[in-house]
Structure 1
Amino acid sequence: MMIIIEGVSKSYCIESGKKVAAVHGLSLAVSRGEVFGYIGPNGAGKSTSIKLLLDLIRPDTGTITINGLPSSNEASRAKIGYLPENPYMYDFLTASEYLRYAGNLSDMDTSSIAQRSELLLEKLKLDQASNRRISSYSKGMQQRTAIAAALIHDPDLVVLDEPMSGLDPLGRKLIFDLIAELKKQGKTVFISSHVLTDIERLCDRVGIIVQGRLCYEGLVADLMMPLEEQFLQVVAATGVDEVK
């Protein structure tokens, strides 16, 4: 397994010292080479789950292993590519400069950075604008640049939080094709998204989290009705109104 999460819970302190459970008793496993979709309403615990997975925060209880190593072990994160929901980029840099910076953070050598940058910029149709400052890019171009940065070091596990955000139809097609290629290469892809049709089209399996608890986990192909209808039924059963 690439990801194993066992009995993980995480609470946050709010005013008056009270605690709110963001994730409760979360257990799931993601196989190597699998594209796994993760969906849920606003405030369900998706972002907290990803932060726990990346060791940006630590669980109160439970364990997380990545490729056989504890998530707290720095080596477990060396081959993870991460796209946050709202990526921050140094927009005074060009795309080429930004990818060089990202590659240096992953201790890549100059030659490997140049090769991977050329490949990714071409795949994501950014090669003609690679020497322009990111500040001049459209939102979709910035999103594609952030995805390229997440992939610069050829990670084994790719975690994408709302990867289709801000993309036009061409950009969406490019990312669909890229994820399909990652799967063919044997990479593991973990996608959090509120676009249910994207999850249904891209993913092998899906997990639905509601109020911090995993309510459904299974093969997309095993669903007896469209994913959107399944999702709405699960959410309705919990009494949650707002869906993301």
Structure 2
Amino acid sequence: MEDTALQAAEQLLGGLPPSPAVWCSGLRKRYGRRTAVDGVSFTVGRGEVVGLLGPNGAGKTSVIKMLLGLVRPDAGEVLLLGRPGRDPASRERVGYLPELFRYQPWLSAAEVLAVHVRLARASVPAEEQRQALALVGLADRAGDRVNGFSKGMQQRLGLAVALVARPELVVLDEPTSALDPLGRADVRDLVLSLKARGVAVLLNSHLIGEVERVCDRVVILDKGRVAASGSLAELLGQRELRLRLGAVNAAAEARLAATGSLHRSGDEFTVVLPAEDDGSTVPGLITDLVGLGVQVHAVEPGRISLEERLLGILRHEEEQR
């Protein structure tokens, strides 16, 4: 009877979707009188890339350290890959690149990887360790000592360490901070390849353009709280139309304003398109403008950038205080 019940429970659980790679609720942390993190909650799905954004001091690194058990939260709960964050086993399949790190300068790149494989108690063949170095562009420097590495090369080695033990979740804290443009492009491609393999990625970066290129969703922190979160489509849903026009009379300007929020600078006009636009708004607008005698020199579709959205959210939060 018990075996039958156990089999039924296993079948039921087996039919459920996998738990999120990261689940946290109500995280709080104070350092003395300063509240660093105040009620932060979010998730990272399996195979999803989530960006953690916010100004310096927003609490991003503190949140990451609480997720990984490096800092004990004053309140809140964490699950990593379905296990409680307080359980060391929850971090067995997690790769981590901290913002600040230093490896033993007398070790070679290959030896650094071997040490971390042993610390992770993982079984990773030497060939697979060499592949991890090749993945970050250090295949020909495997035998070189770390004390001869540039900051960018050490950053690449840190990425290899984060990836070597076949993680299901990778947490990257400022992974491109010491890299040149080519290195940043390599990291971007690497994150996208991890996503394609079903690996979840939590990315903390000040390079908003990189976040916009690789992330499915974004969590914006400000003063320790979640100021906004959502998919890029949700956060950047506002579409714009930029036009360069001549002979704009009062009737034409009123027609532009009737379409949506309007901004004018000389002969250049920016109109916010309605969210419910079915594709007919722009052709109808241009037809009406021409009918009103307006000379249409240029029409350019646009979308608010993540940087503009981030600044708008943070300024709004500041005004509310």
- In structure 1, the residue matched to 2:21 is 2
- Asked whether the 8 Å contact 1:33–1:183 carries over to 2, the reply is yes
Structure 1, residues 169-214: CA drift from partner, whole Å, max 9, x if none?
A: 2212221111111001100000001110011001000010000100
- Are residue 46 (structure 1) and residue 65 (structure 2) matched? no
Judge conservation of contact 1:83–1:159 (CA < 8 Å) in 2. Answer: yes
Residue aligning to 2:147: 135
SS of the residue corresponding to residue 239 of structure 1 reads helix
Give the CA RMSD over aligned residues. Answer: 1.2
Q: Distance in 2 between matches of 1:170 and 1:123?
A: 14
Give, as a single letter, the amino acid of the residue that structure 2 aligns with 1:107. R
Structure 2 runs not aligned, ≥5 long: 1-19, 239-303
Which residue number in structure 2 is paired with residue 92 of structure 1? 106
Q: Which residue matches 1:29?
A: 43
Q: Distance in 2 between matches of 1:166 and 1:94?
A: 20
Q: Which residue of 1 aligns with 2:217?
A: 205
Task: Choose 117-126 or 183-192, whichever is displaced more.
Answer: 117-126
Name the CA distance, whole Å, in 1 between partners of 2:215 and 2:306: 11
Structure 2 distance, partners of 1:235, 1:80, is 31
The answer on 1:102 being equivalent to 2:116 is yes
Q: TM-score, normalised by structure 1?
A: 0.92
Amino acid at match of 1:167: L
Matched, 1:234 2:313: yes
Counterpart residue identity of residue 232, structure 1: L
Aligned partner of 1:164 among 161, 171, 176:
176
| Cα deviation digits, residues 74-105 of structure 1 (max 9, x gap) | 11011110000012111211101111111111
Partner of 1:55: 69
Partner-residue secondary structure (3-state), 2:115: helix
Higher normalized contact order (CA 8 Å, seq sep 6+, divided by chain length): 1
Shift of 1:108: 2.5
Aligned pairs for 1:181-220 within 5 A: 181-220=193-232
| Bigger Rg, which one | 2
User: In 2, Cα distance between the equivalents of 1:216 and 1:202?
Assistant: 18
TM-score with structure 2 length normalisation? 0.71
Where does the alignment leave 5 or more consecutive residues of structure 1 unmatched?
14-18
Q: Take 2:232 and 2:128, find their aligned partners in 1: how far apart are those partners? A: 32
**8 A contact 1:81–1:150 mirrored in 2:** yes
SS at match of 1:7: strand
In the alignment, the residues of structure 2 paired with residue 191 and residue 127 of structure 1 have an alpha-carbon distance, to the nearest angstrom, of 25
Q: Quote the residue 2:80 is aligned against.
A: 66
Say if 1:99 and 1:113, in contact at 8 Å, map to a contact too: no
Give the corresponding residue for 2:9. none
Q: How far apart are the structure 2 equivalents of 1:52 and 1:39?
A: 17
Deviations 1:202-231 (A, max 9, x none): 100001000010011110133132100010
Aligned residue number for residue 16 of structure 1:
none
Cα distance in 1 for partners of 2:177, 2:202 equals: 16
| Other structure's SS at 1:176 match | helix
- Count of aligned pairs: 233
Paired-residue identity, %: 42
Deviation at 1:150, TM superposition (A): 0.9
Structure 2 CA distance, aligned partners of 1:196 and 1:21?
A: 25
